[in-house]
Amino acid sequence: MTWRVATVAGFRDETPAARTLELDVPGWPGHLAGQHVDVKLTAEDGYSTQRSYSAAAPADGERIELTVQRVRDGEVSPYLTEVAEVGDQVEVRGPIGGWFVWRPEDTAPVLLVGGGSGIVPLMAMIRARRAAGSLVPFRLIVSVRTPEDLYYADELRVPDPGVDVTVLHTRSAPEGSRRPPGRIGVADVNTHGWPAVLEPTCFVCGPTGFVETAADVLVALGHDPRRVRTERFGPSGS
Ligand SMILES: Cc1cc2nc3c(=O)[nH]c(=O)nc-3n(C[C@H](O)[C@H](O)[C@H](O)COP(=O)(O)OP(=O)(O)OC[C@H]3O[C@@H](n4cnc5c(N)ncnc54)[C@H](O)[C@@H]3O)c2cc1C
């Protein structure tokens, strides 16, 4: 895998602390929904550092989209979410990962379970399904602290036939919400996921603690661990 120069072509804020970057990468070989890339920043004095970011959308020629959550005091994410401007250049390499991927030819029902920024590769799968005209039924359960922390909120509000979306809140829920704020549990997955007997492919992504809890819940509900694919968004870097 070679490093390629990527130019910021545009960006949009998803939440007060998360931004989607559109990058033009000449020579980009394409990627599958669920894969990630490494992004490398190099300072004028030659110091460089790298982090991993999931593709937020399916391949679109030489354009890739990443959604980055700002980590306070972080080295890379504040630059990508606050400083980078159209025309700035970084380096990327990838695509990386072959297990946590969804392909349009897959026919099993899909359950997507995301915590916070863990929705990023799951959104790429939803977008890939739509782009391919796939009729495979998807269910998305996404857990965020408050309604303002939900990425892609406008897009998720638009009905997408065959894609059921459930948003869980851990700190404050919208007025009138029947579920009190709280972390994901058995009842949430049992109510809004697929029954294990349908043998769905489950993709779970987010912070390590979230992923371990959600994966344990799925297995406790009878899902075959081989069909529970996980991606942990822990700290990454060189
Ligand atoms: C496969 C993979 C895919 C990823 N995809 C995405 C993505 O699509 N969007 C996204 O926003 N992030 C993603 N990440 C996380 C990302 O790689 C960085 O770790 C994150 O942006 C923080 O980098 P930083 O340089 O700003 O912070 P750092 O300088 O690395 O860390 C600053 C402080 O924050 C802590 N910290 C670092 N990362 C995290 C974290 N993820 N959660 C909680 N605390 C943390 C560190 O321990 C340290 O104390 C992914 C990680 C992996 C492994």
How far is Cα 122 from Cα 100, in angstroms, rounded to an integer? 10
**Please, which residues bridge with residue 79 across strands?**
none
- Whether the ω angle into residue 95 lies within 30 degrees of 0, i.e. cis, is yes
Q: Could you give the CA distance from residue 144 to residue 98 in angstroms, rounded to a whole number?
A: 27
pLDDT higher than threshold 70 for residue 237: no
pLDDT per residue over 118-146, tens digit each?
A: 999 999 999 999 999 999 999 999 999 99
Short-list 126, 120, 138, 115, CA closest to 211: 115
Ligand 1 binding pocket (C-beta < 6 A) is 36, 51-54, 67-69, 71, 73-77, 117, 120, 207, 231, 233-237
Cα–Cα dist 200/138, whole Å: 9
Q: pLDDT tens, 2-60? A: 999 999 999 999 999 999 999 999 999 999 999 999 999 999 999 999 999 999 999 89
Phi and psi, residue 183, nearest 5°: -70, 160
Cα-based angle 145, 202, 232 (whole degrees, multiple of 5)? 55
For residue range 140-177, list pLDDT tens digits in order.
999 999 999 999 999 999 999 999 999 999 999 998 99
pTM of the complete model: 0.96
Q: Of 196, 215, 217, 195, nearest to 206 (Cα)?
A: 215
- Distance (angstroms) between ligand 1 centre and the Cα of 228 equals 23
Helices and strands counted in the chain (H then E): 5, 11
The token duo for 60 is: 């679109």
* Cα–Cα distance, 52 to 238 (Å, whole number): 10
Residue 89 Cα, ligand 1 centroid: separation in angstroms?
A: 20
The helix/strand/coil state of 34 is: coil
Closest CA to 202 of 69, 120, 110: 110
Q: Report which secondary-structure segment, H or E, holds 89.
A: strand 89-96
Phi/psi at 234 (nearest 5 deg)? -75, 180
Q: According to the model, what pLDDT value does residue 111 have?
A: 98
Task: Judge whether 54 and 31 are in contact, CB under 8 Å.
Answer: no
Question: Which residue's CA is minimally distant from atom 6 of ligand 1?
Answer: 53
Atom number in ligand 1 closest to CA 231 = 1
